[in-house]
Amino acid sequence: MTRLGDSVARTSELLVQDLSSDKTVEQLLTETKARRYLDLSDLSAKEQAELIAGRTVEVLPSVSKLAERIEERRAKGQGLGIKLGIDPTAADVHLGHTVPIIILSRFQRMGHDVTLIIGDFTAKIGDPSGRTAERPPLTDDDIAANVAGYREQVRPFFDFEKVSFRQNSEWLAPYTFPELLKLLSQVPASQLLQREDFRNRLAEGSGLTMSELLYPVAQGLDSVALECDVELGGSDQLLNLQMGRKLMELHGQEQQLIVTMPLIEGTDGSGAKMSKSKGNYVGLTATADDVFGKIMSVPDRLMEPYLKAWTEWTDEEITLALSRVEEKSLHPMDLKKVLAGEVVAALYDVDAAMAARAGFIAQFSKKTFTEVESLPSVDTAEHGEETVAAVLTKVLEFTPSASAARRIAKQNGLRLVVETGSGQQAIVLDEAAATSPLREVVLRSLEEKGLSGGSVYLKAGRKIAELQGL
């Protein structure tokens, strides 16, 4: 049996046990945390290809071709040359950015050669994928700072001691205009313009710059320079990755295989992908408690894609856990606590995951909010004239922006909770309430419900604050 097979056998035994038990969960997290560093080189070429494919949108031309390429390189005593390009366009990295890194780690642990392309040249153009407008170019100082931040933040998921770093300015900066014209004469303009985001922008009357049109060509030349076997990218990068195959063919090279990964939905359950601008992300620099709480706030339907994206569980293990939920032998909340523990354990360690789990259970198993220690509060005498959204954003820092606060309200996640000796009563606040003064909203809501006395709390998602001075 392979090393992975041994680990799966141990994990499967734990997954059928009581997952509300701290002892069982700690054993499970210890096993799966160790698996993130497991040597996978004893897997057959077919097993390696299938393990990679199980976490991707597609492998092109096919999974069998990936297995064949692995076998060919093995026969020569070599590993595949794997490439992932990074345009360092932001200093803050969130969990969504780790999806390709986790796949890259698996390739690395299978014995393949991994190269990270730092797009210092292409970052000055800006990848237009999914953009409704041209991305502002970055300076050299911006790029250096963002690269340093990216590397440090994704370190828990990847062994940087076993990777090659290249900057694409090495081969793109010396590229001459005659060379570029010769290359472009062999690239159909229709191939550059078939992108959906380009077509949408043209239909809306928005402009496109030549630098944006040439971005896929620049990215494809990275593959030519490295003569790589496999390139990874998000599913929105498919046309850029295919350009790499086209340019490699034009240069007489064996075409790279393409592995595309899913764009993971954000924590708010709105269907939008995880992004900082939408406030539906989990930052890699967040505290263990915050990470745990954010994962616990996601809709149950996201457990499967999140388990696939951020754990080392196999399809067999995920199916086992989800089938237990379906047959009601496992409560969804218990599985979600395991998922949250997995993410915290990846970013920190198992001890931090268990501490965050204990803290979450201690807070949300309380029968009354008055039992919760160090609950944040808002003085309505001081902040009552500010809008609810402003209080959530600027005073409590529960949401990153007013638009995020309104989005929570639109999803029925914004509430007042009135707690008296007879229990709790929740009042759902609509989107209009989010843009109204806090004190006005509270007093009007209490009057409409005929409520008086007791303690009043403002709840946004799973975050709670006591309102004082009413």
Question: 3-state SS string over the chain?
Answer: CCHHHHHHHHHHHHHCCCCCCHHHHHHHHHHHHHHCCCCCCCCCHHHHHHHHHCCCCEEECCHHHHHHHHHHHHHCCCCCEEEEEECCCCCCCEHHHHHHHHHHHHHHHCCCEEEEEECCCHHHCCCCCCCCCCCCCCCHHHHHHHHHHHHHHHHHHCCHHHCEEEECHHHHCCCCHHHHHHHHCCCCHHHHHCCHHHHHHHHCCCCCCHHHHHHHHHHHHHHHHHCCCEEEEEHHHHHHHHHHHHHHHHCCCCCCEEEEECCCECCCCCCCECCCCCCCCCECCCCHHHHHHHHHCCCHHHHHHHHHHHCCCCHHHHHHHHHHHHCCCCCHHHHHHHHHHHHHHHHCCHHHHHHHHHHHHHHHCCCCHHHCCCCCEEEHHHHCCCEHHHHHHHHCCCCCCHHHHHHHHHCCCEEEEEEECCEEEEEECCHHHHCCEHHHHHHHHHHHHCCCCCEEEEEECCEEEEEECC
Say if residue 137's pLDDT is above 70: no
The answer to whether residue 26 scores a pLDDT higher than 60 is yes
Per-residue pLDDT band for 131 (boundaries 50, 70, 90) equals: very low
What is d(CA 280, CA 181) in angstroms, rounded to the nearest whole number?
A: 43
Above 90 in pLDDT, residue 140? no
**With contact defined as beta carbons under 8 Å apart, do 83 and 76 qualify?**
no
Whether the model pTM is above 0.85: no
pLDDT at 367 > cutoff 90: no
pLDDT digit string, tens, across residues 96-106: 888 999 999 99
Q: pLDDT digits over 408-460, tens only?
A: 888 777 888 888 766 677 788 888 999 999 999 999 988 888 887 788 989 88
pLDDT at 9 over 60: yes
Interval 168-201: pLDDT, tens: 899 999 999 999 999 989 988 877 777 777 777 7
Contacts of 118 (CB under 8 A, 6+ apart): 86, 88, 143, 147, 165, 166, 167, 168
Winning range, highest mean pLDDT, from 154-163, 181-190, 319-328, 456-465: 319-328
Q: Where residue 133 falls among pLDDT bands split at 50, 70, 90? A: very low
Question: Where residue 35 falls among pLDDT bands split at 50, 70, 90?
Answer: very high
Which amino acid is it at 152?
Answer: E
Asked whether the predicted pLDDT for residue 128 surpasses 60, the reply is no
Domains of the chain are 1-32+265-365 (1.10.240.10), 57-261 (3.40.50.620), 377-468 (3.10.290)
Answer whether residue 125 shows pLDDT above 70. Answer: no
Tokens 């991305």 correspond to: 135
